[in-house]
Amino acid sequence: MDNRKLFFQHIAQTSPSPIGLEMVKAQGCYIYGADGKKYLDIISGFSVANIGHSHPKVIEAVQKQSAEYMHLIVYGEFIQQPQVQYAKLLTDHLPSSLNCVYFTNSGAEAVEGAMKLAKRVTCRSKIIAFNKSYHGSTQGALSIMGDEEFRNAFRPLLPDVYHFHYNSDEAINAIDHSTACVIMEVVQAEAGIIKANKEWLQRLTQKCKENCTLLIFDEIQSGFGRTGSRWAFEQYNVVPDILLLGKALGGGMPLGAFISHQKLMNTLTHNPVLGHITTFGGHPVSCAAGKAAMEVLLDEALMASIREKESILQTVRHPLIKATRTAGLWMAVEFDSFDTCLKVAHSCIAAGIITDWFLFASHCLRIAPPLSISNKELEDFCHQFKGILDAVQQN
């Protein structure tokens, strides 16, 4: 059976030219093709595989939970041990004001839930978001996505959403008593790894407090150690009212969450009842996998070496590279154009390295390996990458 042919016949496509590699196995930092070729996954499945692929403790947790029970009933009705225990583990490693977890199927659904929560709590509709932000592709999340090219084909979208430049005073000045929430990434991912200015973020947080506006941090990509701390916001001495998680949250299984104070979350239980509901959100197998993955992250001290590994990435220098930006084990490599970036990406794949560019910075190459990658593996990648750039430059 020709799976490649069937892929194009029966799987809905998201672009005219998908990578189209048929994979049969993933382990640690590597993915293996049907043709036997071994690939280094230097983007961790877009920051999903923060502890690496197929960690034995995650596999064990999945097997154990799937043998006990899988789906039972709509979310929130039965006490399900994997959900309860994972929520406890998460909140044990968050500020005390973030003590109540609503599990969803994905990061985008977490965004949708958080937007509803902000409107319900504040009885307001105005939302402030940022240009070049990415929060998902469902209609609500698309409304706050910071790129008109992606939004325009699907209008009309949610009203009363205002986009501003990241790190701008205009965004702070726009917060007023009609603003339900400000939603933002602490590190803008798809803009090509753009960090929030610390002083700016602290002023923005204060303005939200003064106007009883909820501050929502999207750490769907930056969470779980990617930037060198469990959560990127820990590096800014600020705490959001609502935290969004996804990607690595499920340890490779589909899972998202929005987290806030229990008092705020309880507003979704009445007027109307079932103010937010999901059938499969917080699936017990996903929660078991996510809990096991977070325990690996903590027990194996993977975050302790992030700064050292970041410094290894920062050694990458080449005439083709215009700039690099890092946030822990997360780097954007900037070239002069998308054409150059595309050539480099294709050359990487041909050489057995899985990488990609950024959605709103297509001239920048994404590097975000599993946090479990060894210094030697990272050094070998950097050496190989320089050779790839030499070849692209010569051609």
Domain of 123, CATH number, reads 3.40.640.10
Give yes or no: residues 209 and 308 share one domain.
no
Number of structural domains found in the chain: 2
Q: Using DSSP bridges, classify how beta strands 126-130 and 187-188 pair: parallel, antiparallel or unpaired.
A: unpaired
Give yes or no: residues 311 and 281 share one domain.
no
Sign of CA dihedral 114, 142, 107, 93: negative
pLDDT band at 275 (very low <50, low <70, confident <90, very high): very high
Q: 181 pLDDT exceeds 90?
A: yes
Give yes or no: residues 230 and 315 share one domain.
no
Domain around 126: 56-299
Give yes or no: residues 232 and 242 share one domain.
yes
Question: Are the beta carbons of 23 and 30 closer than 8 angstroms?
Answer: no
Give yes or no: residues 251 and 153 share one domain.
yes
Q: Tell me the per-residue pLDDT of 116-153, one tens digit each, with 9 for 90 and over.
A: 999 999 999 999 999 999 999 999 999 999 999 999 99
Give yes or no: residues 180 and 196 share one domain.
yes
How is residue 321 written in tokens?
């590279």
Q: Tell me the per-residue pLDDT of 77-126, one tens digit each, with 9 for 90 and over.
A: 999 999 999 999 999 999 999 999 999 999 999 999 999 999 999 999 99
Angle at 130 between CA 185 and CA 244, to 5 degrees: 30
Q: 184 pLDDT exceeds 80?
A: yes
Give yes or no: residues 27 and 108 share one domain.
no
Q: What is the pLDDT of residue 262?
A: 98
Q: 308 pLDDT exceeds 90?
A: yes
Amino acid at 307: R
Q: Give the whole-angstrom CA distance, residue 317 versus residue 335.
A: 12
CATH number of the domain bearing residue 318: 3.90.1150.10
Residues in CB range of 90: below 8 A, 6 or more apart: 101, 245, 257, 259, 294
Percent of the chain residues topping a pLDDT of 70: 100
Q: What is the pLDDT of residue 8?
A: 87
Where is average pLDDT lowest: 14-28, 52-66, 343-357?
A: 14-28
Give yes or no: residues 196 and 329 share one domain.
no
- Which of 237, 265, 299 is where one domain is finished? 299
Mean pLDDT score across all residues of the chain: 97
Give yes or no: residues 22 and 90 share one domain.
no
Give yes or no: residues 236 and 180 share one domain.
yes
pLDDT band at 18 (very low <50, low <70, confident <90, very high): confident
Which contiguous run of DSSP H or E holds residue 297? helix 284-299
Q: Give the whole-angstrom CA distance, residue 334 versus residue 45.
A: 20
Q: What is the pLDDT of residue 303?
A: 95
Question: Are the beta carbons of 242 and 117 closer than 8 angstroms?
Answer: yes
- Which of 244, 274, 299 is where one domain is finished? 299
Q: What is the pLDDT of residue 9?
A: 86
Q: 1 pLDDT exceeds 80?
A: no
Give yes or no: residues 204 and 251 share one domain.
yes
Question: Are the beta carbons of 256 and 249 closer than 8 angstroms?
Answer: yes
Question: Are the beta carbons of 163 and 132 closer than 8 angstroms?
Answer: no
Give yes or no: residues 330 and 292 share one domain.
no
- Which of 264, 299, 334 is where one domain is finished? 299
